[in-house]
Amino acid sequence: MEEWATKEEIVAARERMEESHPDWRRPAAYGLGVHRDGVTAFARVNQNGNYLPAIVLARVTGHTRGTFSYPMSVEQLETAVEELSPAAACTELDHPNLHHWHEVLDDVRKNGGQIVAVFVGDPSDPPADEHDAALRAALR
pLDDT of residue 78: 98
**Residues 28/47, Cβ–Cβ less than 8 Å:** yes
Confidence label for 84 from pLDDT (cuts 50, 70 and 90): very high
- Residue 75's Cβ-count burial label (10 Å; 0-12, 13-18, 19+) is exposed
CB atoms within 10 A of CB 95: 20
Given a cut of 80, whether residue 59 has pLDDT beyond it is yes
pLDDT of residue 120: 98
Domains of the chain, residue spans: 7-139
CATH T-level topology, domain 7-139: Alpha-Beta Plaits (3.30.70)
pLDDT of residue 3: 95
Confidence label for 100 from pLDDT (cuts 50, 70 and 90): very high
> Structure pTM?
0.96
Which parts of the chain are beta strand (E)? Answer: 29-36, 39-41, 45-47, 68-72, 114-120
